[in-house]
Structure 1
Amino acid sequence: MLAALALALPAQGAEPTLTLNLAAGQQQPEKVSMLLEILFTLTVLSVAPSIVLCCTSFTRIIVVFSFLRQAMGTGQMPPNQILASLAIFMTVVIMYPTGKKIYDEALNPYMEERLGFSEAVKRAEAPMRDYLFKHTREKDLSVFYTITKMDQPKTKEDVPTVMLSAAYMISELKTGFTIGFLVYIPFLVLDMVVSSVLLAMGMMMLPPAMVSMPFKLLLFVMVDGWNLMTAALVNSFV
């Protein structure tokens, strides 16, 4: 037994070594090793919340919902969790065509080993860039070129994806604030009417917001506000 143990131990003076092979096999030069695939997957999962916020319709939707809740004066109703969940589900519906195109043209061929890793990334990036360009203003994109002092791009292919994502987020904030302003107007008019009535009745000690909130809720329910708001937001991305 001692002899077997002695044979199992490394020779005297030898140093144990650990080798990690990150290269792909020689038979498939375009195939990335499993370790790199795992690292890439973990990286994508770690930055997934930022990708959802920056590169999808989530930003515009959650901004409009926040304006709607403030205009109605309902405080924390609906709760943040409800609004965020609804915004996520709407984002999935709106981004479904883009996601399906990425799956059909990049992810599925790569999983079936019909595409190399680099080619799959390029094909996955193309539908996303088309979506970003569709909803990004050139004015917002030029701001970042002015900041970085880079030459103006001649074609869409010359625009870096990172810069395009930043410009897209500014455009979405602008659009969200515009829609939020339009949502605010009917509730603001109702607040002014209630304030004028209370002032004419001499009830100056009663907060107008407290009196107008039931009327705003009644108005929102009567016109089926959630259906109209959801349809308007979804159609704004068509």
Structure 2
Amino acid sequence: MTRFVQLICTLLLVVSTSVLAQDPAVTALVDPAAAVQNNPAGLTAFTVTTNPDGSQSYSVTLQVLAIMTALGFIPAILMLMTSFTRVVVVLSILRQATGLQQTPSNQIIIGLALFMTLFIMRPVFDQVYTQAVEPYLNEQMLFQDAVAVGRVPMEEFMLAQTRTTDLEAFMEIAGIDAVPAGERIPLTVLVPAFVTSELKTAFQIGFMLFIPFLIIDLVVASVLMAMGMMMLSPMIVSLPFKLMLFVLVDGWNLVMGTLATSFGL
């Protein structure tokens, strides 16, 4: 869990640093010359130091400010760049298929999807931590190098789960004909393509989950119609049978195993 927190903080720092670097007002604030000119007292807590090799190092105060500012990006990173979307959609469809409106509750579904996401993404997080976060924390790698190395496993995971048709569609919308060899696909193209593929896969899995429950509903409805019980709702009668079927086949184990297997685990 500590590794996951450190990884999230690093991702937040990447996003917030990019945003701050594009803001002219913030650029003037973090420029040492502008800071000295605007602040005769010499307060340079927000500074960017240029290294001999041309790279830049941000002050600790600025890094903390960037992390605190970017806390709002945690839900977006979790939902749009991990397996969370597929898991939570499948679990929601499963709840609808069984006919249970509020059981399991939304809190349980989100919590279960969160820990399933940690389980599925653990190999990717371990690579990011080992290759980027740990060397950066040990001062063996510059921040920019750590970002370049750490984003590779995440991009590889998203590319492995993204359909070619979805990726080509968003590249066409963005006006990108082809990505030259050795260059990365922009995140503005990769992330929406990945989310679209995840939603499609989740709907396919949900369709397969719906079939056995739909058959039970049809059988119960036909029996009730044949018996002349038109006023009795088939949903009330079929619900116990659907629950019994789901428990007898160990449905939760099958669903969780299917979700993990769908990501190649």
Higher RCO (CA 8 Å, separation ≥ 6 residues): 1
Indicate the residue corresponding to 1:152 in structure 2: 178
Is 1:19 aligned to residue 43 of structure 2?
A: yes
Task: Provide the TM-score with structure 1 as the length reference.
Answer: 0.88
The alpha-carbon deviation at position 41 of structure 1 amounts to: 2.0
Specify the structure having the higher radius of gyration (Cα): 1
The alpha-carbon deviation at position 30 of structure 1 amounts to: 5.2
Indicate the residue corresponding to 2:98 in structure 1: 72
Within the candidate set 215, 228, 237, 2:254 is matched to 228
1:203/1:156 Cα in 2 relative to 1: closer, same or farther (>3 Å)? Answer: farther
1:152/1:215 Cα in 2 relative to 1: closer, same or farther (>3 Å)? Answer: same
Unaligned stretches of 5+ residues in structure 1: 1-14
Structure 2 matches for 1:23-34, cutoff 5 A?
23-24=48-49, 31-34=57-60
Q: Which runs of 4+ in 1 moved over 6 A?
A: 25-29
Is 1:194 aligned to residue 220 of structure 2?
A: yes
Unaligned stretches of 5+ residues in structure 2: 1-38
SS of equivalent to 1:24: strand
Counterpart CA distance in 2 for 1:228 and 1:16 is 67
Q: What RMSD over aligned residues (CA atoms) do the two structures have, in Å?
A: 2.0
Counterpart CA distance in 1 for 2:107 and 2:229 is 37
Counterpart CA distance in 2 for 1:70 and 1:137 is 27
Structure 2 matches for 1:77-156, cutoff 5 A?
77-155=103-181
* Contact in 1 for aligned 2:174/2:189 (Cα 8 Å): no
SS of equivalent to 1:77: coil
Within the candidate set 43, 53, 56, 2:79 is matched to 53
Counterpart CA distance in 2 for 1:96 and 1:33 is 31
Is 1:161 aligned to residue 187 of structure 2?
A: yes
Counterpart CA distance in 1 for 2:244 and 2:138 is 55
The alpha-carbon deviation at position 144 of structure 1 amounts to: 1.4
Is 1:208 aligned to residue 234 of structure 2?
A: yes
The alpha-carbon deviation at position 25 of structure 1 amounts to: 7.9
SS of equivalent to 2:183: helix
Indicate the residue corresponding to 1:217 in structure 2: 243
- The one-letter amino acid paired with 1:19 is L
The alpha-carbon deviation at position 31 of structure 1 amounts to: 3.8
1:157/1:56 Cα in 2 relative to 1: closer, same or farther (>3 Å)? Answer: same
Matched residues, percent identical? 45
Deviates more, 1:136-145 or 1:184-193: 136-145
SS of equivalent to 1:95: helix
Indicate the residue corresponding to 2:88 in structure 1: 62
Deviations along 1:201-222, one digit per CA (max 9) or x if unpaired, are 0001000011100100011011
Indicate the residue corresponding to 1:8 in structure 2: none
SS of equivalent to 1:115: coil
Indicate the residue corresponding to 1:12 in structure 2: none
Task: Provide the TM-score with structure 2 as the length reference.
Answer: 0.79
Counterpart CA distance in 2 for 1:183 and 1:150 is 38
The alpha-carbon deviation at position 147 of structure 1 amounts to: 1.6
SS of equivalent to 2:140: coil
